[in-house]
Chains A and B, each alone.
Chain A
Amino acid sequence: MPVSANTVWEIRSTATANMVNGGGFVTGAPGTNYSQQDAAQYALTGVTSAGAGNTVLSASAATDMVGNIAKVVSGTNFTQGWFEITSVVAGVSITFSTNAAGTAICTGIGAAGVINIGGALSLNSTLDDDFFEEVQAGNTVWIKSGTYSLGESVTVASAVGTGTNPINLTGYNSTRGDSPMVNSGSQPIIACGANDFQLNTFWIGSYLEFTTTTAAGVVMSASQGTWYRCKVTNTSTTSGRVALSAASNCSIIACEGISQNGTALRLTSNTARVLYSYAHDSRNGIELQSNTCYAIGCVVNRCFLVGIELGASALGNNVVANCTVRGFPLQIGTGLKIPTATGPSHKLYNNVIMNWATGVAKTSPNQASNFGASNCFYNNKTDVSNYTKDATDFTADPGFTGIVELTGTTATTSGSVLTDSGADFSSVRDNIDFLYVNSGTGVTTGQYLITSHTSTTLTVNNTLGTSSAGNVVYTVSVGQNFAPGPNLANKSIPLQFGDESPSNIAVGAVQRKEVMPSSTFIG
């Protein structure tokens, strides 16, 4: 048997390097939990065994080891990897589980074994993927705040959870369960670089931040997985790359995605959903690539090609509801794109669609069974193309509370620096706000993360190119408060529960907060 379903793992950026620690403890085991510390509690050397099997001989054997996960680092006839300590004869022997593949700790007479017991895991190693493949259904992997540089691609192939025993990969700040929010500065950051990161069936990844440049981005590659309160940024200069994606029956909930030249959030297969998430400063915001997918309560902001794409599946039946899909004031791109010629039964309800060249576009003049209602169209060059508005669709200024665009038409660029002598960039926030370059002689158009600034210059993460003509057209968004004004209130599809509870919610993703006037009572 491999490690227990009750194993809880610990990853820390301050842990002993090279993934040499045990890194876990079985909840409820009689021993002492030594996983939540940087170094191993026991660093055994000279460990032997009488033959193949699960038991090794060590005079250091102690009963407090039971339940800890041990890491076999090396040894003759020792299987390298992670094993649960299931029992101990004090001063004599230690008995282990098998590894995930069912292989025993010793494959023959063991000699010169090096085994570490306790201590957290480090990542930053060529054993990163090996560790994730050892995780069992029901396990929890806690990852503490810090920055981790993946030493190899993590593409989980065999470690899968179940409906009753999912696998949790959960970030925390200082105390397990303290749930650091996106952009709090307290989530652990996994810097993938060009390494893939893919989890599998019934994994739940939460409170994590990733950076990546890979084509596929960060992926939930099989069914029933969930990304919750995660942020993924893909900074690749190659077009079409993805930040965060999820496959069949998976969920992306309350996440944030940015892919400067690609797609922020992508549902790759059927019956998946993206809920209450934020896609911004990308080429495409959200892609529902298959059928029966849902995008509900999401904000899409400042994407230069497509806000939400409903996919080419002939089975259709995707739903986009209560989303705010905002383009640039430059009015470029398409808000909602329905690319198939016979895409049936897509539903568009209660959305704000604004600032696009075309609000809703379908590629052929056949609306078929696509249907929408109570959508707000505002400030689009053209509201619809090959799509017929419903009588309940309307036009109104959403009046968002805190959306400010800094724009310019006469900037110059050199390397990674944009200069506009007439600008005031003092309100720009480094590593949060993005620059979009729309046009200019010699400049590379697209999205750029602003990494530093002065009042008249912006330094960005990728090379802009050299443009000295003084005709670079750009925009920077400062402020991301999408709370609407009063014009969207009571405009949604009316809800009627019985005779006495009619209800309307505001159109779009963010509900309006009514401020009660203050009163002074004279008594």
Chain B
Amino acid sequence: MIILYNGYEILCCDEFSGRDFTCQTLLNSNLNGRVIYGSCFSQEIPDTEVFSSGLVATFLNCNLDNVKVPVGCTVQNCSQRRFMAQSDGLDWFVDENNNPISLKSRVPQISE
């Protein structure tokens, strides 16, 4: 697929762009050299290894929350938050040591 991106036409990988990979790992998938646009790779545990460590790829506007992105990759306009469920059952943003910092969002209250 070709996406117009910041004034440039970018050839993005059809196989891995615009896909939902929530909580999945792609350790054995060949993304090397690819440009991946608009996919969700969100995980529930910080620093989850989703991709092979030697991957060289470009991620545009992807959800990479809790994903350990290999150092050779380029990341642009992606979400890369770190959070974990705590004992209250809710997601909290965590620091580099996975200590909770702040509540990510609240559950709507019940009204009678």
Contacts and interface: CB of A to CB of B under 8 A. Distances in A.
Interface of A: 13-14, 16-18, 38-39, 122-126, 146-153, 189, 191-196, 198, 211, 213-216, 219, 221, 235-241, 245, 247-248, 268-270, 289-291, 313, 315, 451, 461-462
Contacts of B3: 14, 16-17
Given A193-B42, A268-B108, 17 more contacts: A13-B38, A16-B5, A17-B77, A38-B4, A150-B63, A189-B20, A191-B20, A194-B83, A195-B79, A213-B23, A214-B91, A235-B22, A235-B23, A236-B85, A269-B110, A290-B112, A461-B24
Contacts of B6: 17-18
B37 A17 contact: yes
B108 A149 contact: no
A193 B110 contact: no
Nearest to B60: A17
Interface of B: 1, 3-6, 18-20, 22-24, 37-40, 42, 44, 60-63, 65, 77, 79, 81, 83, 85, 89-91, 104-108, 110-112
A387 B1 CA distance: 60
Interface centre among B1, B77, B85 (most CB of A within 10 A): B85
Interface centre among B22, B24, B83, B111 (most CB of A within 10 A): B22
Given A125-B61, A451-B24, A237 B44 contact: yes
Given A17-B3, A149-B20, A198 B108 contact: yes
Contact of B4 (A39, A153, A315): A39
Given A17-B4, A213-B42, A462-B23, A247 B91 contact: no
A302 B105 CA distance: 30
Contacts of A148: 18, 38
Contact of A151 (B24, B79, B106, B108): B79
A461 B40 contact: no
Contacts of B107: 215-216
Nearest to A210: B20
Nearest to B85: A238
A248 B111 contact: yes
Contacts of B65: 193-194
A18 B5 contact: yes
A125 B61 CA distance: 7
A126 B38 CA distance: 12
Contacts of B83: 194
The 5 A-B residue pairs whose C-beta atoms are closest, nearest first, are: A193-B42, A191-B40, A191-B20, A149-B40, A124-B61
B40 A193 contact: yes
A122 to B, nearest CB: 8
Contacts of B60: 17
Nearest to A40: B4
B63 A193 contact: yes
Given A213-B42, A315-B112, A153 B105 contact: yes
A325 to B, nearest CB: 23
B61 A17 contact: yes
A208 to B, nearest CB: 13
Contacts of A125: 61, 77
A270 B24 CA distance: 37
Given A124-B61, A125-B77, A462-B23, A216 B4 contact: no
B74 to A, nearest CB: 15
Contacts of B105: 153, 196, 214-216
A122 B20 CA distance: 16
Nearest to B21: A191
B75 to A, nearest CB: 13
Interface centre among B61, B81, B90 (most CB of A within 10 A): B61
Contacts of A151: 61, 63, 77, 79
A236 B111 CA distance: 25
Nearest to A236: B44
Contacts of B85: 236, 238
Given A193-B40, A215-B91, A16 B22 contact: no
A152 B79 contact: yes
A149 B39 contact: yes
Given A16-B3, A18-B5, A147-B19, A215 B90 contact: yes
